[in-house]
Chain A
Amino acid sequence: MLRARRFWPLALVAAVALFLAACEGGEEQPATGTPRAQQPTGAPITIGMMYDGTGATQLIGVAYKAGFEDYINLINSKGGIDGHPINVIFCEHGYNADRGVECYENQKRGGAIGTVTYGTPITAAVIGRCNQDQIVCTFPGYGSAAAANGERFPYGFPIAASYWSQAGAAVRFVLDEWQREGKSGKPKIAYLFYDNPAGNEPREVLRTIAQREGLQLEEVAVPAPGTEMSSQVTRITQSIRPDWVITHLFGSSPSVSIKALKEAGFPLNRVVALVWGSGDADVEAAGGWAFAEGYYGLQFTAIGTDLPVLREITEMYRSQGKQPPDLMTKNNVYYMRGVANAAVMVEGIRNALRQKGYPITGADLKAGIEAIRGEVAGVVNLNLSARDHEGGGSVRIYQVRGGRWQLARDWFQGYRDVIESFVYR
Chain B
Amino acid sequence: MINRECGVFRTTYQADMSLYGVPLARITVAAFALFFALVFPFVVDHKHLVWANFAGISIVAAIGLNLLTGYTGQISIGHAAFMATGGYTAAIMTTRADVPFWVGLIAGGVFASAYGLIVGLPSVRVKGFYLAIATLAAQFITEWIINHVEWIGGGFQASIIVPPASLGPVRFDTELEKYYLVLALVVLAVVAGLNIARSRLGRAFVAIRDRDVAAEIIGVDIFRYKLLSFMISSFFAGVAGALYVYYVGTATIEAFQISRSIEILAMIIIGGLGSILGSIFGAVFVVVLPLALEDILEFFRGVLPVTDIDTFVSQLKLMVFGGLIMLFLMVEPEGLNRLWRNVKDYFRVWPFSY
| Interface residue B158 (Cβ < 8 Å from any Cβ of A) | yes
Interface of B is mostly: helix
Report the minimum CB–CB distance from A25 to chain B (whole Å): 8
B296 contacts A19, CB within 8 Å?
yes
| Interface residue A144 (Cβ < 8 Å from any Cβ of B) | yes
| Interface residue B249 (Cβ < 8 Å from any Cβ of A) | yes
A128 contacts B250, CB within 8 Å?
yes
B295 contacts A8, CB within 8 Å?
no
**For this complex, into which size category does the number of interface residues on chain B fall?**
35 or more
| Interface residue B133 (Cβ < 8 Å from any Cβ of A) | no
Which of chain A's residues has its CB closest to B318's CB?
A54
Q: Mark B31-50, 1 if CB is under 8 A from A, else 0.
A: 00000000000000111001
B156 contacts A106, CB within 8 Å?
no
Q: Assuming the A-B contacts A26-B299, A54-B315, A90-B310, are A101 and B50 also in contact, with contact meaning beta carbons closer than 8 angstroms in the complex?
A: yes
A9 contacts B250, CB within 8 Å?
no
**Complex CA–CA separation, A196 to B148 (angstroms):** 9
- Give the residue among A12, A106, A120 with the most B Cβ atoms within 10 A: A12
| Interface residue B51 (Cβ < 8 Å from any Cβ of A) | yes
Q: Mark A138-149, 1 if CB is under 8 A from B, else 0.
A: 000001111100
Report the minimum CB–CB distance from A53 to chain B (whole Å): 3
Complex contacts, A9 vs chain B, CB 8 Å: 331-332, 339-340, 342-343, 346
* Among B51, B157, B287, B342, contact of A144 (Cβ-Cβ < 8 Å): B157
B331 contacts A22, CB within 8 Å?
no
**Complex CA–CA separation, A377 to B340 (angstroms):** 58
A97 contacts B161, CB within 8 Å?
no
Q: Among residues 64 to 81 in chain A, which have CB atoms less than 8 Å away from a CB atom of chain B?
A: 65-66
Q: Assuming the A-B contacts A121-B255, A201-B157, are A105 and B175 also in contact, with contact meaning beta carbons closer than 8 angstroms in the complex?
A: yes
**Complex CA–CA separation, A197 to B313 (angstroms):** 31
Q: Assuming the A-B contacts A102-B291, A128-B250, A201-B157, are A8 and B54 also in contact, with contact meaning beta carbons closer than 8 angstroms in the complex?
A: no
Report the minimum CB–CB distance from B41 to chain A (whole Å): 14
B292 contacts A120, CB within 8 Å?
no
**Complex CA–CA separation, A109 to B325 (angstroms):** 31
Complex contacts, B343 vs chain A, CB 8 Å: 9-10, 13
**Complex CA–CA separation, A253 to B188 (angstroms):** 45
Complex contacts, B156 vs chain A, CB 8 Å: 124, 144-147
B307 contacts A124, CB within 8 Å?
no
| Interface residue A92 (Cβ < 8 Å from any Cβ of B) | yes
A6 contacts B314, CB within 8 Å?
no
Report the minimum CB–CB distance from A299 to chain B (whole Å): 22
* Among A12, A90, A127, contact of B339 (Cβ-Cβ < 8 Å): A12
Report the minimum CB–CB distance from B264 to chain A (whole Å): 13
B328 contacts A125, CB within 8 Å?
no
| Interface residue A325 (Cβ < 8 Å from any Cβ of B) | yes
| Interface residue A407 (Cβ < 8 Å from any Cβ of B) | no
B308 contacts A198, CB within 8 Å?
no
B311 contacts A97, CB within 8 Å?
no
Which of chain A's residues has its CB closest to B298's CB?
A26
* Among A10, A31, A109, contact of B47 (Cβ-Cβ < 8 Å): A109
**Complex CA–CA separation, A101 to B314 (angstroms):** 16
| Interface residue A241 (Cβ < 8 Å from any Cβ of B) | no
Interface of A is mostly: helix
Q: Among residues 95 to 121 in chain A, which have CB atoms less than 8 Å away from a CB atom of chain B?
A: 97-98, 101-102, 105-106, 109, 120-121
**Complex CA–CA separation, A128 to B250 (angstroms):** 7
Which of chain B's residues has its CB closest to A201's CB?
B157
A124 contacts B254, CB within 8 Å?
yes
B314 contacts A120, CB within 8 Å?
no
A195 contacts B47, CB within 8 Å?
no
Total interface residues on A, using CB and 8 Å? 53
* Among A53, A124, A132, A198, contact of B314 (Cβ-Cβ < 8 Å): A53
Complex contacts, B51 vs chain A, CB 8 Å: 102
Q: Mark B281-321, 1 if CB is under 8 A from A, else 0.
A: 00000010001100110110100000110111111001000
Report the minimum CB–CB distance from B258 to chain A (whole Å): 9
Complex contacts, A90 vs chain B, CB 8 Å: 310
| Interface residue A94 (Cβ < 8 Å from any Cβ of B) | yes
Report the minimum CB–CB distance from B328 to chain A (whole Å): 7
| Interface residue A1 (Cβ < 8 Å from any Cβ of B) | no
A97 contacts B254, CB within 8 Å?
yes
| Interface residue A27 (Cβ < 8 Å from any Cβ of B) | yes
B346 contacts A10, CB within 8 Å?
yes
A30 contacts B332, CB within 8 Å?
no
| Interface residue B153 (Cβ < 8 Å from any Cβ of A) | yes
- Apart from A13-B343, A97-B255, A147-B156, list 5 A-B contacts with CB within 8 A: A9-B346, A22-B299, A196-B147, A197-B153, A201-B157
> Could you list 24 A-B pairs, sorted by A, with CB under 8 Å?
A6-B353, A8-B331, A9-B331, A9-B332, A9-B342, A22-B295, A27-B45, A31-B301, A53-B308, A53-B311, A54-B315, A90-B310, A97-B252, A101-B50, A102-B47, A124-B254, A125-B252, A126-B249, A128-B162, A147-B156, A197-B153, A197-B158, A197-B159, A198-B157
The 8 lowest CB-CB distance pairs between A and B, nearest first, are A121-B254, A53-B311, A26-B295, A128-B249, A144-B156, A197-B157, A92-B314, A124-B252
